[in-house]
A and B are shown apart, each in its own frame.
Chain A
Amino acid sequence: MVEPLMTITNLKKHFALKKNVFSKNVIVKAVDDVNLEIPRESIFAVVGESGSGKTTLGRTLMKLIPPTAGMVSMDGKDILTLDKKAFLPYRRKMQIVFQDPYNSLHPRKLVKTVIGEGLKIHFKGISEMEIRDKIREVLLQVGLREEHMFRYPHEFSGGQRQRIAFARAIVLEPEFIVLDEPTSALDVSVQAMVLKMLQEARAQNALTYLFITHNLSIVDYFANHLAVMYLGRVVETGSKAEIFDHPAHPYTRLLMNSNPIPDPFLKREKQVVRGEIPSPIHPPSGCHFHPRCPFAKAECKEQEPQYREISSGHFIRCHFPV
């Protein structure tokens, strides 16, 4: 196997919820014991329902919020323990695009300033001319035009804003980009175009994506690796082909079954995920998924399943894989 770009080891992010002075602090395990290897130049999708911790995972990786425990190594270096100054070069190498295109661009700044600011931070002494050349280059690359750099974000549509946000990320020539549901706020027709642009940009710049989404159709079209999260834990991970062909975790199967297929005549077994995702404040005992699992046995209720490899590169957290 190729050397992974990023290795995540036992990463945890717990939030302490303070209800009032008399009650004990409640701990929410938003990201709990996550182990992943993100191969270089891959598109690694993280899927899960709302509240499964996928966004928190992305933000912790980006060091936007401090982790509770664990290690994230990039090029063999643990980036989470680096101090501000030592981390700065890695800041440039890893970028993030947020879900909400309407609030992720500063409303009072020209597109040129939004995109160019990172250049000023990371390349000291860069000239105004160089900055403009660079911005023009990335604007063209994300499918916008040069004159757009003199406009304000509110003059653009959602899809265009997301392109600007992406331009802000790639102008720094990163290696790794977290895409946090970059298309979920967009119209379906625009989604397809943005995804196509992302794909082309990845090939052109040798990028690695961590693609956070809840849309399995996009994963199928876009990704080549996949991790399924449930209540802060990764329940299954592996290559996309492997997981789409042989989903081993009951939760993955249910997710795939509930994903709409654009063919009204195609019959399939109806199997809907029962109930909603439980509250992460009081997660179920044993395997977190057992109350909703159609194959749950007594053991699932009591014992926490181990994270184990069932075939090469295919990991699962389940007592009784299907």
Chain B
Amino acid sequence: MTVANEKTALGFFEKNKPYIDDLKHTVFLFRKSKLTMVGFVLIVIFLLVAFLGPLFLPYDPIAQNFAVRLQPPSQEHLFGTDQFGRDIFSRVIQGSRMALWIIFLVSAISGLLGTTVGIIAGYFGGLIDDIIMRITDMFLAFPSLVLAMAFAAMMGPNFTNTIIAISLVNWTTYARLARAEAMKVKEQPYIEAIRSVGAGTGRILFLHVLPMCISPVIVQLTLRMGTIILTAAGLGFLGLGVQPPTPEWGAMVSDGRNFLVDQWWISTFPGFAIVFVVLGFNLLGDGIRDMLDPRLRR
């Protein structure tokens, strides 16, 4: 039979053909949606700027130069300068790195925590579910920014605590989503089928329930990345986030608010940066949701 010969001759590409085809299809779906592409381009620009931008800064983002304070946008200072004479363009670019770190760490921490707790609550139900859900209710009873402020104020304002504070207010969303999905999935015959094959609880939970719960969580994570930046910016604006002189967009907007009427550029450019990234994540998040839905795939 030819089958046997083929089997031994299988190269890497042939062996992984189904996965590669699947990937190709994903890319195809991705390119079909214009808004997703816009979001994708925005985020790619953001990532490029965050990774490479700080290597090509025209000025030191924290060096003060009172000779050029409050300069309007010009050739030398593309976005103008602030009240300490720092170049806003350099600060906005340096700030993107801070924003990226916050997004990455908060998403990883709150996504992992939320999903794990959520599928446990949803799959086991009963008392475990009740306890976990009452805890999330407690978190959800406060507006998220207020709660993040409380945590940040309690632990002291710095970078690490900003991450922890934002993660702590965010994980409940993912926990609820993952729980709802897990509750739906655990009733499905394919879960009963794998139980009848003899799979243990851990295997069922992480290899069978989790993959079905992950796509709404990923979408929500992408959608919430905008909100995370907003929360971080809010904390920065209130002075509870990353501390000066480290450039952080929210704190920069806050810096400019006393000068808003005459020196509009101080707050405006970091504000645009926030809009740019939040919009990008929202468009991308919507696109990813459509792509991951297996019913819309084919």
The distance from the CB of A229 to the nearest CB of chain B, in whole angstroms, is 21
| Given A105-B190, A146-B3, A154-B298; A168-B18 close (CB under 8 Å) | no
Residues of B near A150 (CB, < 8 A) are 17-18
- Please tell me if the beta carbons of A98 and B198 are within 8 angstroms of each other in the complex: no
- Please tell me if the beta carbons of A165 and B193 are within 8 angstroms of each other in the complex: yes
Residues of A near B195 (CB, < 8 A) are 64
A100 (CB) vs chain B CBs: closest residue? B189
- Please tell me if the beta carbons of B190 and A104 are within 8 angstroms of each other in the complex: yes
- Please tell me if the beta carbons of B199 and A95 are within 8 angstroms of each other in the complex: no
How far, in angstroms, from A64 to B184 measured CA to CA in the complex? 18
Main secondary structure of the interface of B (DSSP, over half): helix
Check: B208 CB closer than 8 A to any chain A CB: yes
Check: A214 CB closer than 8 A to any chain B CB: no
Check: B203 CB closer than 8 A to any chain A CB: yes
Check: B75 CB closer than 8 A to any chain A CB: no
- Please tell me if the beta carbons of A108 and B199 are within 8 angstroms of each other in the complex: no
Residues of A near B196 (CB, < 8 A) are 62, 64, 91, 95-96
Residues of A near B190 (CB, < 8 A) are 103-107
Residues of A near B212 (CB, < 8 A) are 106-108
| Number of B residues with CB within 8 Å of any CB on chain A | 21
A63 (CB) vs chain B CBs: closest residue? B196
| Number of A residues with CB within 8 Å of any CB on chain B | 31
Q: Which of B193-210 contact A (CB under 8 A)?
A: 193-200, 203, 208
Closest 6 CB pairs of A and B: A91-B198, A118-B197, A104-B189, A150-B18, A106-B190, A103-B189
- Please tell me if the beta carbons of A106 and B197 are within 8 angstroms of each other in the complex: no
Known: A95-B197, A150-B17. 18 other contacts (CB 8 A): A91-B197, A98-B189, A103-B188, A104-B190, A104-B192, A106-B190, A106-B212, A107-B212, A107-B294, A110-B18, A117-B199, A121-B198, A121-B203, A122-B198, A136-B3, A150-B18, A154-B294, A172-B197
Check: A240 CB closer than 8 A to any chain B CB: no
- Please tell me if the beta carbons of A117 and B197 are within 8 angstroms of each other in the complex: yes
The distance from the CB of B93 to the nearest CB of chain A, in whole angstroms, is 40
Q: Which of A87-141 contact B (CB under 8 A)?
A: 88, 91-92, 95-96, 98, 100, 103-110, 117-118, 121-122, 136
Residues in A lying within 8 Å of B, measured CB to CB: 59, 62, 64, 84, 88, 91-92, 95-96, 98, 100, 103-110, 117-118, 121-122, 136, 146, 150-151, 154, 165, 168, 172
Name 14 A/B residue pairs within 8 A (Cβ), A-sorted.
A64-B192, A64-B196, A91-B197, A96-B193, A104-B192, A105-B190, A105-B193, A107-B212, A107-B294, A118-B197, A121-B200, A121-B203, A168-B193, A172-B197
| Given A98-B189, A98-B193, A104-B189; A118-B211 close (CB under 8 Å) | no
| Given A106-B208, A154-B294; A92-B198 close (CB under 8 Å) | yes
How far, in angstroms, from A151 to B19 measured CA to CA in the complex? 10
The distance from the CB of A125 to the nearest CB of chain B, in whole angstroms, is 16
How far, in angstroms, from A63 to B101 measured CA to CA in the complex? 49
Residues of B near A98 (CB, < 8 A) are 189, 192-193
Residues of B near A151 (CB, < 8 A) are 18
A172 (CB) vs chain B CBs: closest residue? B197
The distance from the CB of A275 to the nearest CB of chain B, in whole angstroms, is 31
- Please tell me if the beta carbons of A88 and B198 are within 8 angstroms of each other in the complex: yes
How far, in angstroms, from A207 to B194 measured CA to CA in the complex? 20
Query: Which of A109, A121, A136, A165 contacts B199, CB < 8 Å?
Result: A121
